[in-house]
Structure formats: structure tokens, C-alpha cells
């Protein structure tokens, strides 16, 4: 019997699921290797659990989602979170440090119909996660590697190194050192394929903090290069704003 794959959506934009559909060349191989048991973005046919691998996109931002993720965890042998929303709470987690009622009223004309939690949180805050794929969106190569490796029972070759490592592997000229452009690369986990520095812009941290992120030292250098408090706050207030290392730096520069 083929292993059964399910793809789930929580609070998110669908971009990470699209990465799976974007695996055009490999899609037939995937369909060959696994039974796609639940993937609403691709097919309306759904099959009940249990599942061998569940890919979970999105953050927990409603009471209903809090319950749904528990059932999915019970139904899944391996649970992989995909993307900045699922792994860090996403851009919607910017609300976490604000007055929720006031925010809701400022956005929606009839806020009483909006049933949302005051916070948007990563999946790992609610259930055990077996593996996480970072990024906004995730990288296609990493997704294929994670699925392949976990189905074969080997460790995925997905490094936790810095974005700087990607720059130097690719031979990209450092934008901080050559141009004084603030860059989150030294505190951000690599994996995107060096997208931003390669085109001459600073990394904006969509893969989230790397292990051992020394944000304080990086901020001191950014300030020395002329970045003001607001620029620094906004840099740390992106798609992974709520990841603890980045949230702390953003709050330190707020106001």
C-alpha cells in the first residue's frame, strides 16, 4: 500500500500548498509514490485518516482551528509544518502584541462577526511537530527533500545554517559589506536559495531566526550603518515577526 499524504490549511494564504502544485516536473512522481488522500487545493475527493504524512500550512488563529489541529495530529503518523505561518505564526501574528478588539474594529466594519483569537500562533504551540519547513513561501526543493527523506526513513538534508552561508556558497557579494544595506541574513536560517541577496537586496528574514541568532549584535551594526529605529523595527516585523528572537528585537525598537 502506498503511503497516504494529506495537506491541511489553517490561517494562511495558500502559497505554501501552491508550492506543492508548483512541483510540475515531480508531481507525477509524487502521485506515483504516495496516495494523495486529502488535498482540497488539488482535488475535492477526500479520504478519511489515518495518514502517513500530513503537511500543515497556516497558523492557529481561531478556536475552531485549535480543535481541528488536535484531530489532525491524532490522525497523522508524521506531521510536517510548512511555511512561516505554520512555523512562526505568520504576518498575521503582528496582532499578537496589540489590543485585539481595537484592531478588529479598525479593520472590519462589523467586528462582532469576526471570530478570531487574540493571537496567531505556530502549530508547534499546540501539537507535537515532527519536522518544520521554513519560508514564505517554502522552497520547493526542501519540500521534495522532506517528503522523500521522511518516506524513506532518513534524515532530510535540510540545513539550519545562516542565509550568509547561502551567499557564500553561491558567491554572492555581501550587500551589508559592499553597500551598507541592512540585511537579516546573519540571523536568518538559510534555505530559500539565496533569493534576496542574489539580486542585491538585504534578506528580510522570511525563513525566520536561525539557531543562536545574535540579533543584538546585528542591530548594533545596522544602527552604525545608519538604519533608524523604525527601519530596524520593520525589518524584524515581517513574515516571521512573532518568532521569539525577532519579536524581542521588534518590541525593543517599537515607539
Partner 1 sequence: MDRAAAEPVDRSIVIPAESLDTLIGALRDGGYQVWGAQERDGALGLAPLAAAADLPRGRVEAAEAGTVRLTDGPRPAYFDHTLPMQGLKRMVYPARERLYAAGQAMSLEEDPVEAPPIAVLGVRPCDLAALDTLTAVFESGPFVDDRFRQRRAALFLVAVNCMRPAATCFCASMNTGPRAEGGFDLVLDEVMEGDRHVFVVASGSARGRAVLDALAGEEAGQADREAARAGSQACAEAQRRHMPDGVAALLKQSYDDPHWANVAERCLSCANCTLVCPTCFCSTVEDRSSLDGAEAERWRRWDSCFGLDFSYLHGGAVRTETASRYRQWMTHKLSHWHDQFGMSGCVGCGRCIGWCPVGIDITAEAQALAASEQAA
Q: State which of residues 183, 219, 222, 243 lies at the interface with ligand SF4 (CB under 6 A).
A: 183
> Binding residues for ligand SF4, how many (CB under 6 A)?
12
The entry of partner 1, ligand SF4, none that residue 130 binds, CB within 5 to 8 Å by partner kind = none
- Is residue 185 at the binding interface for ligand SF4, with CB under 6 A as the rule? yes
Spatial neighbors of 54 by CB under 8 A, at least 6 apart, are 5, 6, 7, 8, 72, 75, 76, 78, 79, 80
Q: State which of residues 203, 222, 227, 241 lies at the interface with ligand SF4 (CB under 6 A).
A: 203
Q: In the structure grid, which three cell numbers stand for residue 211, read together?
A: 539557531
The entry of ligand SF4, partner 1, none that residue 171 binds, CB within 5 to 8 Å by partner kind = partner 1
Q: Hunting for cell 531566526 — which residue is that? A: 209
- Is residue 163 at the binding interface for ligand SF4, with CB under 6 A as the rule? yes
If 0-12 CB within 10 Å is exposed, 13-18 middle and 19+ buried, where does residue 112 land? exposed
Asked whether 133 and 158 are in contact (CB, 8 A), the reply is: yes
Q: Of 59 and 162, which has the nearer Cβ to ligand SF4?
A: 162
User: Minimum Å distance from CB 180 to ligand SF4?
Assistant: 11
CA distances from 10 to 32, 46, 57, 106, 228 (A): 27, 17, 6, 23, 35
- Is residue 208 at the binding interface for ligand SF4, with CB under 6 A as the rule? no
The entry of ligand SF4, partner 1, none that residue 159 binds, CB within 5 to 8 Å by partner kind = partner 1
The entry of partner 1, ligand SF4, none that residue 132 binds, CB within 5 to 8 Å by partner kind = none
**Cα-trace Rg, the chain:** 19
Q: What is the DSSP string of 200-235?
A: T-----TT-BPTT--HHHHHHHHHHTT--HHHHHHH
Prior bond of 137 cis (ω within 30°): yes
User: Minimum Å distance from CB 173 to ligand SF4?
Assistant: 8
SS3 category, 38: strand
User: Minimum Å distance from CB 207 to partner 1?
Assistant: 14
User: Minimum Å distance from CB 28 to partner 1?
Assistant: 10
Separation between Cα atoms, residue 66 and residue 93, nearest integer Å:
15
Binding interface with partner 1 (CB under 8 A): 26, 29-30, 32-33, 144-145, 147-149, 151-152, 154, 157, 159-162, 164-165, 167-174, 176-180, 183, 185-187, 200, 211-212, 214, 216-218, 220-221
List of residues contacting ligand SF4 (CB under 6 A): 163-164, 167, 174-176, 183, 185-186, 197, 202-203
Amino acid at each position: 500500500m502506498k503511503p497516504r499524504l494529506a495537506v491541511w490549511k489553517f490561517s494562511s494564504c495558500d502559497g505554501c500548498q501552491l508550492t506543492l502544485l508548483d512541483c510540475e516536473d515531480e508531481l507525477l512522481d509524487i502521485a506515483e509514490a504516495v496516495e494523495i488522500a486529502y488535498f482540497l487545493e488539488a482535488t475535492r475527493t477526500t479520504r478519511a485518516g489515518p495518514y502517513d504524512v500530513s503537511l500543515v500550512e497556516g497558523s492557529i488563529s481561531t478556536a475552531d482551528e485549535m480543535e481541528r489541529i488536535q484531530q489532525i495530529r491524532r490522525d497523522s503518523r508524521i506531521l510536517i509544518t510548512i511555511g512561516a505561518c505554520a512555523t512562526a505564526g505568520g504576518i498575521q501574528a503582528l496582532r499578537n502584541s496589540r489590543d485585539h478588539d481595537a484592531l478588529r474594529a479598525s479593520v472590519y466594519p462589523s467586528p462582532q462577526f469576526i471570530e478570531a483569537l487574540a493571537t496567531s500562533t505556530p502549530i508547534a504551540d499546540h501539537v507535537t511537530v515532527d519536522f518544520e519547513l521554513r519560508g514564505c513561501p517554502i522552497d520547493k526543493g526542501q519540500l521534495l527533500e522532506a517528503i522523500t527523506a521522511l518516506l524513506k526513513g532518513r534524515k532530510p538534508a535540510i540545513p539550519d545554517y545562516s542565509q550568509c552561508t547561502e551567499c557564500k556558497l553561491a558567491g554572492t557579494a555581501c550587500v551589508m559589506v559592499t553597500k551598507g544595506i541592512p540585511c537579516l541574513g546573519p540571523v536568518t536560517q538559510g534555505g530559500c536559495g539565496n533569493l534576496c541577496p542574489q539580486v542585491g537586496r538585504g534578506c528580510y528574514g522570511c525563513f525566520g531566526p536561525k539557531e543562536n541568532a545574535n540579533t543584538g549584535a546585528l542591530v548594533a551594526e545596522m544602527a552604525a550603518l545608519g538604519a533608524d529605529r523604525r527601519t530596524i523595527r520593520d525589518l524584524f516585523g515581517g513574515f516571521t515577526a512573532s518568532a521569539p528572537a525577532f519579536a524581542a528585537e521588534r518590541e525593543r525598537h517599537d515607539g
